[in-house]
Structure 1
Amino acid sequence: MSLQFNYIAVLLVLLILLGILSNNSSITISGTILLLMQQTFLAKYIPFMEKYGVNIGIIILTIGVLSPIVLGKIQIPNLTAFLNWKMFLAIAVGVLVAWFGGRGVNLMASQPMLITGLLLGTILGVAFIGGIPVGPLIAAGILSLFIGKV
């Protein structure tokens, strides 16, 4: 048990360091919190985070995306705006990304060993090609390829 425990702690420290080196605060903060949880009495809550963490994260992300609308910083478009081809494309890309996300959650649940590769890919993408590890921004990036905006 001690060897496994140390291996996981070392893996978390490596993820924290990679997060720092790549300026990926999400990885850095997540790794730090999990390391602290693992090393303290909070370890008993790690199964809760495993079970509900993705749903909690999606709720917080959705609140963050909807907040500018609630604050009035983004106006809800009128009905004619929905007749624009860019709006149709935006809706289609949003549906496609949501479908990919659902498939991704199922894949991670059924093959959790891939999570390390996904994290490593995210870190490499942030560090070397200017990526940002946030789902809605990925959807906007795909949309920008279709409509020619940067």
Structure 2
Amino acid sequence: MDTSSYILVALLIIGIIGRSNLVAMSACVLLIIKFSGLEQLLLPFLENKGLKLGLLILMIYILLPMAKGQVQLKELKYNFTSVSGIIALVGGALATHLNNEGLKLMKLMPEIIFGMTLGTILGTVFLKGVPCGPVMTAAVTAILLQICSWLGSL
């Protein structure tokens, strides 16, 4: 077993102990891919398309109320005519920008992903938080690193 397999096993154990099914299942899937000999075929595909596929599934879930007719035109109009609706539009745009910064961080420093994953599990278990996903976790990490960089340059 190579180092990457040990890291995945550690994440599997942490996911099980921290009751984070997504982390545990993700580690299991990657271990199965590695041990099945499909690593050369599937890992590059997942690296290139995995994020888009995951975001597609998430977006479908988010848009379900519209597809089911649970959101009416007057409620959509609210987004453009109310202060809270406009703030929601600005918040969505800002979150998208921050998520992009998080993705850049994960590409630049992939070793930080283990700490972010462990932090997410610790926050879920001890702070009664709700896991927000690795992209938002990376975005918050990028902001905190930028703040530390600014404070260090003072």
Q: Does 1:11 align with 2:12?
A: no
Provide the rounded CA distance (Å) in 1 between the counterparts of 2:131 and 2:78. 33
- Structure 1 residues without counterparts, runs of 5 or longer: 139-150
Change (3 A) 1:60 1:110: same
Q: Does 1:129 align with 2:127?
A: yes
With structure 2 as the length reference, what TM-score do the two structures score? 0.76
Q: How does 1:1-150 map to 2 (within 5 A)?
A: 5=2, 7-44=3-40, 45-76=42-73, 77-80=75-78, 82-135=80-133
- Return structure 1 stretches of 4+ with deviation > 6 angstroms: none
Q: Is the 8 A contact 2:79 2:89 kept in 1?
A: no
CA deviation vs aligned residue, 1:98-124 (integer Å, no higher than 9, x gap): 111011111111221111121111111
State the percentage of identical aligned residues: 31
Higher-RCO chain (CA-CA 8 Å, sequence separation at least 6):
1
* SS of aligned partner of 2:38: helix
- The AA in structure 1 aligned to 2:58 is L
- Structure 2 residues without counterparts, runs of 5 or longer: 137-154
Provide the rounded CA distance (Å) in 2 between the counterparts of 1:132 and 1:83. 31
- The AA in structure 2 aligned to 1:35 is L
CA deviation vs aligned residue, 1:110-147 (integer Å, no higher than 9, x gap): 22111112111111111211222235xx7xxxxxxxxx
RMSD after superposition: 1.9
Provide the rounded CA distance (Å) in 2 between the counterparts of 1:80 and 1:54. 31
- The count of residues paired between Structure 1 and Structure 2 equals 132
CA deviation vs aligned residue, 1:52-74 (integer Å, no higher than 9, x gap): 21122111111111122111234
